[in-house]
Amino acid sequence: MDKLGRMKTNKEIVKIPKKTFAFPREKKELRRKRVHEITNALRQAYPDVRCALHFATPMELLVATILSAQCTDKRVNMVTPALFKKFPDTRAFSKAKEEDVEKLVKSTGFYKNKAKNICAAARRIMEQFRGEVPRTMDDLVSLPGVGRKTANVILGNAYDIPGIPVDTHMIRVNGRLGITRNTDPVKIEFDLMPLLPEKDWVEYSHLIIEHGRNRCFARKPDCPGCEIRNRCPSRDIVARL
User: What pLDDT score does 50 carry?
Assistant: 95
**CA distance to 23, 57, 183, 185, per residue, from 191 (Å):** 16, 30, 11, 10
Is the residue at 27 inside a domain? yes
User: What pLDDT score does 11 carry?
Assistant: 56
Q: How confident is the model at residue 5 (pLDDT cuts 50, 70, 90)?
A: very low
Active site residue 187: no
Give the active site residue among 114, 149, 191, 200.
Answer: 149
Residues 76 and 135 in one domain: yes
Residues 77 and 148 in one domain: yes
Q: What is the mean pLDDT of residues 56-67?
A: 98
Active site residue 89: no
Domain count, the chain: 2
**CA distance to 73, 95, 203, per residue, from 77 (Å):** 6, 23, 21
Q: How confident is the model at residue 234 (pLDDT cuts 50, 70, 90)?
A: confident
Count of other CB atoms within 10 angstroms of residue 91: 15
Q: Which domain holds residue 102?
A: 58-158
Q: Where are the alpha helices (DSSP H) in the chain?
A: 28-45, 58-67, 73-86, 90-95, 98-105, 111-128, 137-140, 148-158, 168-176, 185-192, 201-214, 235-239
Give the active site residue among 167, 184, 200, 222.
Answer: 167
| CATH code of residue 230 | 1.10.1670.10
Report d(CA 70, CA 46) in Å as an integer.
24
Residues 154 and 66 in one domain: yes
| CATH code of residue 118 | 1.10.340.30
- State the pairing for strand pair 6-9/12-15: antiparallel
Is the residue at 1 inside a domain? no
Q: With 50 as the cut, is the pLDDT of residue 108 above it?
A: yes
Residues 122 and 67 in one domain: yes
Is the residue at 145 inside a domain? yes
Residues 40 and 85 in one domain: no
Residues 153 and 228 in one domain: no
